Amino acid sequence: MESESPIETKKGKSKTPKKAKESILKQKSPAEFFAENKNIAGFDNPGKCLYTTVREFVENALDSAESISELPVIEITIEEIIKSKFNSMIGLVDRERIDEALYDDYETAKAREGTSDFAYVLEFYVLSSLDVLKCHLTLSCSNLFSLVQKRLAKEARAQEIQAKNASLGKKVKEHTVSKGAKGRGEASFYRVTCKDNGRGMPHDDIPNMFGRVLSGTKYGLKQTRGKFGLGAKMALIWSKMSTGLPIDISSSMRGQNYISFCRLDIDIHRNIPHIHLHEKRDNKDKWHGAEIQVVIEGNWTTYRSKILHYMRQMAVITPYAQFLFKFVSDTPDKNITIKFARRTDAVPPVPVETKHHPSSVDILLIKRLIAETSKPNLLQFLQHEFVNIGKPLAERLIGEMGPEFSPKMAVKSLTDQQIVRIHQLFRQAKFDDPSGDCLSPAGEYNLRLGIIKELHPDMVATYSGSAQVFEGHPFIVEAGVSVGGKDGLNIFRFANRIPLLFEQGGDVVTRTALKRISWNNYKINQTQDKIGVFVSIVSTKIPFKGTGKEYIGDDISEIASAVKSAIQQCCIQLKSKIVKKMQAREQQERKRNLSKYIPDATNAVYDVLKEMARSHVSKKKRYEEGDADILRKVSDHSITNETLKEKLTEHVEKVDYQMALEYATQTGVREEPSEDIYLQSLDGKGNLFDFHSPIFVFRLFL
């Protein structure tokens, strides 16, 4: 009995279920949340992190320069930092490997066997004669074939084990194809520096502007490139996660005799800045702007094309800016320096902050506006806190709300039920659409410059639509369509004057260009012609899908309709140009065909005239006086073969011009919209003459 008790106790323990841990209420700071979900902000992997960091720095620099109406001058530098240099920066001493099998790139002896055999065959191929090679190649090929069979069998067994584990619900470890591939531990580091000539930042605000997530200056209702207060902070968070190094900020505002320098990182758990150094330095050069420097893990090799493509497109949509991009490496062959020169001094107007449209607010926003307003009563609150509500309309709205509302009632005394009533009325009442005066589109001129620079097309058409509204927010769509240049259908998307490079398939511009435009109706062949489509959307609220600002969804009918209309307007302009080009080509073809037969026709006609002239001289046949006069000139050689050729050429030119004019009248005029023309009369009396026509009367003053 005593010997059995321990066994029974052991069995009893194995059958006892584990007690579930009690759930503990926890809180996370915004910085901690975005550090754990960095892909939300576009920081998916090291390469994407490098791209997004460059993007956020450049866009912040542009906003800063444009806010003071300064022509932007932006320098962006990416410096590659090798592992030994990075270790010395953080005070880490390099160590030699002791246990090779511990590392991800370790290869077993059997794995190296195939490589050595193959290298031996190649070396023997170079150094041996053809006769010896034939003998050895057979043996080596058989060895290599045996090695390949072993590796394939090993991979097949591994796949069978994975499939079996997956069917049993066990965790499956992903099979690595190549052990020689770069491991996760072998990271690449880069120092990203961005310098601009913008507004700069106040000395005391710098720590909170970079070290506190969801804090920023762009939360008003205004067209801005940034919106969420995440960009530079996410670069700092990624730097803290991947390198542990702080961020360096230098800034100076106009008229300041000092430069603010701040070195800081962020306390992830408390979402507050951790300041290493914050001081004022001499500003001898009277420089203003900001310079930001951060060291992060990245992948230049994979995202090199994306970063350069982004810089090119940014230069396209902002031709008034000057960009200098540098990539610096210890390997000189990898160094890159690209200068995107300024092509115009025409800067779009600075976007202005606007008020909320009644149809775009919710209950929480109404409560916040009530808490922040300085207006004492309801009438003044409605007039001054919302657009398109004048005094007459405000009085009508208050009368519609019910007897418990009055124009003079204190706005801060409104109850929750009364605020809900106001919100319901705002959703049901009819208001004028907000104007687009607060928006700052790129402009057709800048868009045309960008298209010509990027694609070098044969024909370009641009269109800027009027302001439209979705969910109470104004937006403007500008479009450009080109024919010629790069092959295929090239689509370029911009939102609030920033390029969108990712998730192109789901974007409203791509779907519209591929599925909703009948290109053949505009004399454009979608499969053969080289087409470029540029669409720029600006608004106080861009409906991005996610915080990464990567694409605009296709689910907002107002934007989809405006994009389609803008592209169609460009196509109509191009159709007119294409028709004229077709006319010119057909005219040249007609002229070429007629001119080709002029010598033969001239010789035949002249031979007939000479024969008729001989008959007339010999009086075998008599002709009328007019014909006889021509025949005498032929006999006197006053009319020669060359004379006939000149006259026939003139006739071809005349007929060709008349046919082209008639064709243009029948087809080309219909393609172009007609416009009324008004001529302002001159003041005072004077001599005048009227020229009458079946269509109009032209009066000439002398």
Q: How many CB atoms lie within 10 A of CB 688?
A: 11
Nearest to 458 by CA among 268, 585, 598, 345: 585
228 is in an annotated binding site: yes
231 is in an annotated binding site: yes
Q: Are 639 and 607 in contact (CB under 8 A)?
A: no
Q: Are 458 and 483 in contact (CB under 8 A)?
A: yes
60 is in an annotated binding site: yes
**Sign of torsion over alpha carbons 688, 691, 694, 697:** negative
How far apart are alpha carbons 45 and 37 in whole angstroms?
Answer: 12
218 is in an annotated binding site: yes
196 is in an annotated binding site: yes
450 is in an annotated binding site: no
Structure-token pair, residue 16 = 């006892």
How far apart are alpha carbons 263 and 247 in whole angstroms?
Answer: 6
First to last CA, the chain: 136
682 is in an annotated binding site: no
Look at residue 356 and give its three-state secondary structure.
strand
The 3-state DSSP composition of the chain as helix, strand, coil percent (nearest 5) reads 45, 15, 35
- Token pair 């409203």 is found at 508
Residues β-bridged to residue 340: 323
371 is in an annotated binding site: no
How far apart are alpha carbons 464 and 443 in whole angstroms?
Answer: 7
DSSP string, 268-310: TTTTEEEEEEEEEEE-TT---EEEEEEEEEE-HHHHHHHHHHH
DSSP string, 465-532: PPPEEETTEEEEEEEEEEESSSSSEEEEEEETTEEE-S-GGGSHHHHIIIII--GGGGT--TTTS-EE
- Token pair 């907000």 is found at 434
Structure-token pair, residue 669 = 């005029």
How far apart are alpha carbons 190 and 178 in whole angstroms?
Answer: 26
92 is in an annotated binding site: no
How far apart are alpha carbons 563 and 424 in whole angstroms?
Answer: 31
173 is in an annotated binding site: no
DSSP string, 185-244: TS-EEEEEEEE--S----GGGHHHHHHSTT--S--SSS--S--SS-HHHHHHHHHHHHT-
Using DSSP bridges, classify how beta strands 688-692 and 498-500 pair: parallel, antiparallel or unpaired.
Answer: unpaired
- Token pair 């505002």 is found at 253
227 is in an annotated binding site: yes
How far apart are alpha carbons 495 and 439 in whole angstroms?
Answer: 12
Using DSSP bridges, classify how beta strands 498-500 and 531-539 pair: parallel, antiparallel or unpaired.
Answer: unpaired
Annotated binding residues for ATP, written as ranges, equal 60, 196, 217-218, 226-233, 549
Annotated binding residues, written as ranges, equal 60, 196, 217-218, 226-233, 549
